[in-house]
Chains A and B, each alone.
Chain A
Amino acid sequence: MGFFDKFFTKEKEEDLDKGLEKTKTNIFGKISRAVAGKSTVDIEVLDELEHILISSDVGLDTTIKIIERIEERIARDKYINTKELNDILRDEIVQLLSENNTADLEQFAPVTDKNPYVILVVGVNGVGKTTTIGKLAHQFKKAGKKVVLGAGDTFRAAAVDQLGIWAERVGCDFYSKGMNTDPAAVAYETVQYAMNNDCDIAIIDTAGRLHTKLNLMKELTKIKNSIDKKMPGAPHDVMLVLDATTGQNAIEQATKFTLATEVKSLALTKLDGTAKGGVAIGISDQFKIPIKYIGVGEGIEQLQIFNKRAFVDSLFKGSDTL
């Protein structure tokens, strides 16, 4: 550090210390402000909190939002220790996930008077749309529903075969017009098939597409409209599938897919890995769409109903302090 001597007078060294001190604190100066003087929560705990949220892909904006909420809580309560912070924190995140007024589902199958109930499944490439459809159909069938899967991905190599194999595994109906056909027509006719064959639920697969591809997003709108044409008010659910490994880009995905199709629910896949899928918290909050299902493996049974509390707890699993 003798190197600095050349450049700094005494006076400047003081500023230097101040400057360094700033960088020493966590990247959200906010956290420390939030609890300063109010608590026995020490800096290490706060660092840990920041670490956990950011490493779970919760993202800067949502982390700040969470912290602001905690700040408010702390302003109300006089004194807080680490244990209390712990509870408040989890509480606030669960709250954030609840503000779209949706309780966690109680069962897989939709409670509905719509017949058929039509679900359109959308998302970027490789997130797990087709697999989630297979697993979901399996659950619906177990609940005694008659299900048809519509092969609306007519683009990706062997996509139709893939969904066909899932339909076979599940033992449900399957509607396809083959590869390279118009996906809007497939969607339309799948609904028609469901109506003609007394299916309770129709699930329509779509090709993965990056949300930045304008023409493909337009195609999605067209698919949705053609479903609506066959059955006004349908699709009853537009499910955006998000991959838990995805980082902040998922927010852009949600934005663009919502614009194109009015997304109504989220499914979060690949939570059996080490990724936490924290970005979904901000998305669910910002767009007021509930997370309905989570994927926890490649097998047919490995789909679960989303549980807010369990999800939030999983973010903090493995932390000693929080």
Chain B
Amino acid sequence: MFDSLQDRMESAFKNLKGEAKLTEINVAQSIKEIRRALVGADVNYKIAKEFTDKIKDEALGSKNVLKSVKPGELMVKIVMDEMTELMGGQATGINIKGNPGIVLVAGLQGSGKTTFSGKLALFLKEKKSKNPLLVACDVYRPAAIDQLTVLAEQVGCAVYKEPENKNPVEIAQNAIAYAKGHSHDVVIIDTAGRLAIDEKMMTEIRNIKSGIEPTETLFVVDSMTGQDAVNTALAFNDVIDYDGVVLTKLDGDTRGGAALSVKYTVGKPIKFASTGEKLNTLDVFYPERMAQRILGMGDIVSFVEKAQDQFDEEEAKRLEKKIKRNKFDYNDFLQQVNQIKKMGDLKSLMGMIPGMGKAIKDIDINDGAFSKVESIIFSMTPEERGKPDLLNMSRKRRIAKGCGHNIHEINMFVKQFEQMRKMMTQMSKGKGMERMMQQMQQRR
């Protein structure tokens, strides 16, 4: 349903075939497309405007520098770079120095605070050899304390609660005293969900903060949030001046424009990405990936990750190696198609393969969706399937005959395949891949 930015760029430049560089005019047109792409990805409307204005200046300033690149590609690159920079900033860890270190967790209802608190406890326990204490300061939501207790059990850490006490400031203060007496070096305080316009509740969180002076205050944001992200992020920032942001539910298919909105508005670093309901699904935040995601660019990282969710690990590793060495061939492709067919949810998955989004965009994916591609590959010799470079004109003609598609279609498919392969390899050589590997090892 979403067009990728590349597609949009292509259409924006379609009428300007002859133009080899960025000009005021083609920039102006593509700016509009970028703006739509951003708004479609839930980036705040006003921010999308400001951001694209900046892009425009950037694009015009750079027009004679990179003559060799197509204007569309250059535009995409500028947007990517700009966004990555914006989302990044200096990557600071969380501050848990102190005796004990105190982390305060706040945010809207249902954003994932309690789950995150559990995840953070596990992370600090396992990765930083800490002895965390989880503190139940949500005195409102039914079974909130039970929920945190269960999570603490799963983590294997202690939980502090006062079920009869309805004063979260007191509970937090008592918890810190308790931590000092029980050699907990870090305290994680889970608070109730609250709306930014709920004055009473915002006063409460302000009092909690000033009552315990946390070393780190984190604001938890659901990555599916729409235009309102800005209001909430600002309002919470005004009241608790948080140190960092946690993005949750990134395991879905949301574009996550809220991340950009929040970062742009308050300028606080995004420190963690939460990617699942299980406690071991907490990641550090990768600005580059987030930028790609918001723009709907082929995201090979997520693709391989998703593939990993569904395929077996061996297979994914093998695939990755091949991609890295530019050895991805038609057999692999066919195998992927088969795997994917088994999995359903084709379009979103396929859309993640760079260059694929466009190829499948107009196809209504059902069982027959791949039949053309398959028939083309089936008409290749085993040798050709293993060595895509072999395909010359006469071979392509033979294949065309074999599968009953015209040479045009064969060429198009081969070209798409090559493009995809090139991009996969390129991306795998960048930092993205290393991080991805690390991350995959952390998972499961």
Contacts and interface: CB of A to CB of B under 8 A. Distances in A.
Interface of A: 4, 7-8, 12, 15-16, 18-20, 22-23, 27, 51, 54-57, 59-60, 124-128, 134, 155-159, 161-162, 164-166, 169, 210-214, 243, 245-252, 256, 270, 272-276, 279, 298
Given A54-B39, A59-B40, A252-B1, A22 B141 contact: no
Interface string B250-288: 011111011000000000000000000100000000000
Contacts of B110: 125-128, 243, 270
A210 B150 CA distance: 22
Contacts of A15: 23-25
Interface string B228-265: 10011000000000000000010111110110000000
Interface string B63-97: 11000000000000000000000000000000000
Contacts, number: 179
Interface stretch (B26-34, B164-172, B316-324, B389-397): B26-34
Interface in B16-70: 23-29, 31-32, 35-36, 39-42, 44-45, 56, 60, 63-64
Given A126-B111, A210-B252, A162 B142 contact: yes
B255 A274 contact: no
A128 B142 CA distance: 12
Given A157-B151, A214-B344, 16 more contacts: A15-B24, A18-B25, A59-B40, A60-B39, A124-B249, A125-B110, A156-B277, A161-B143, A164-B143, A213-B251, A243-B222, A246-B225, A247-B254, A274-B195, A298-B109, A298-B140
B226 A245 contact: yes
A212 B254 CA distance: 10
Contact of A125 (B112, B140, B226, B343): B112
Contact of B196 (A243, A251, A273): A273
Nearest to A23: B28
A247 B48 CA distance: 15
A245 B343 contact: no
Contacts of A272: 195
B108 interface: yes
B147 interface: yes
Contact of B146 (A22, A158, A169, A245): A158
Contact of A23 (B31, B63, B249): B31
Contacts of B343: 214
Interface string B202-241: 0000000000000000000010111110011000000000
**Most A CB within 10 A of own CB, among B41, B149, B228:** B228
A15 B26 CA distance: 10
B308 to A, nearest CB: 14
Interface string B339-354: 0000111001000000
A269 B81 CA distance: 37
B197 interface: yes
A275 B36 CA distance: 20
Contact of A273 (B35, B63, B108): B108
Given A60-B36, A252-B1, A214 B345 contact: yes
Contact of A249 (B140, B197, B224): B224
Contacts of A213: 251
B1 A16 contact: no
19 contacts: A4-B60, A15-B24, A16-B23, A19-B28, A19-B29, A22-B29, A23-B28, A27-B36, A128-B109, A128-B110, A157-B118, A161-B143, A212-B251, A214-B344, A245-B232, A246-B226, A248-B226, A274-B232, A275-B225
Contacts of A7: 63-64
A210 B249 CA distance: 8
Interchain residue pairs A-B with the least CB separation, the first 5: A247-B226, A126-B110, A247-B42, A19-B25, A275-B228
Given A125-B110, A212-B251, A157 B147 contact: yes
Contacts of A298: 109, 140-141
B395 to A, nearest CB: 38
Contacts of B27: 19
A8 B24 contact: yes
B214 to A, nearest CB: 24
B58 to A, nearest CB: 13
A15 B25 CA distance: 7
A22 B36 contact: no
A249 B229 CA distance: 14
B249 A274 contact: no
Given A272-B195, A273-B197, A23 B222 contact: no
B32 A22 contact: yes
